[in-house]
Amino acid sequence: MKTVQPKFIVGIGGSAGALNAYKALLDAMPHDTGMAFVIISHMNPTAHSQLALILSRHTKMSVIVASEAMPILANHVYVIPPDSDLTVENYRFRVISPRISRNKQVDIFFISLAEAMGVRAVGIILSGYDGDGTEGCKHIKANGGTTFAQDTSAEVDYMPLSAQAAGFTDFVIPLNKIPAKLKSFAAVLKI
């Protein structure tokens, strides 16, 4: 099977209450979008994460834990490793371990994503406490990318509301509507 770089890299950030949101989003996402999905989740630094295994039950795409210099491929889902920050450079991951600071992983990834991908960067903020992701959404928008926030269906609405209140979200919609919106704007951009 030929490996292909993604048309877009979609960063998906969440924290408390986001597990159900990740599952619902992947359940609704076609497996052949031509995009890569990177899940940035706040985790206990000493935890052994089963997130990739859990999420693999909700998509036909390959779901794997990101590692240093791993190529980012279309139609794959990547999960941040525990106690790490993740960035993107030339369609490859950079892993910074241990993480730089607590609960800033989404901002760190989104800022890197914005710089690496420009208009091909997408940020999605899901359920969680605190405002992680807001600064990252600002950078994505400043570089021509697109941002989403989960609507009132978020179990914990602090993260999506923070991005919305700052004015850095293009779309505030239910999880099951995000795949169609991604597909429609990708078609408009003809990338």
Residue range 129-181, pLDDT digits in tens: 889 999 999 999 999 999 999 999 999 999 999 999 999 999 999 988 998 99
Is 97 a residue whose pLDDT tops 70?
Answer: yes
Q: Is residue 119 part of a domain?
A: yes
Q: Which domain holds residue 58?
A: 9-186
Give the mean model confidence (pLDDT) for residues 84-109: 93
Distance CA 181, CA 191 (A): 15
Is 55 a residue whose pLDDT tops 70?
Answer: yes
Residue type, 15: S
Q: Is residue 191 part of a domain?
A: no
Q: Is residue 3 part of a domain?
A: no
Q: What is the pLDDT of residue 190?
A: 57
Q: How many domains does the chain have?
A: 1
Q: Which of 6, 3, 63, 60 is nearest to 186 (CA)?
A: 6
Q: How many CB atoms lie within 10 A of CB 47?
A: 10
Residue 103: pLDDT band by 50, 70, 90 thresholds? confident
Q: Is residue 40 part of a domain?
A: yes
Q: What is the pLDDT of residue 172?
A: 95
Q: CATH number, domain at 45? A: 3.40.50.180
Q: Is residue 4 part of a domain?
A: no
Q: What is the pLDDT of residue 49?
A: 76
Q: Is residue 1 part of a domain?
A: no
Q: Is residue 76 part of a domain?
A: yes
Q: What is the pLDDT of residue 141?
A: 97
Is 48 a residue whose pLDDT tops 60?
Answer: yes
Q: Is residue 103 part of a domain?
A: yes
Kindly state the percentage of the chain with pLDDT values over 90.
80
Q: Which of 25, 27, 61, 163 is nearest to 106 (CA)?
A: 163
Is 109 a residue whose pLDDT tops 70?
Answer: yes
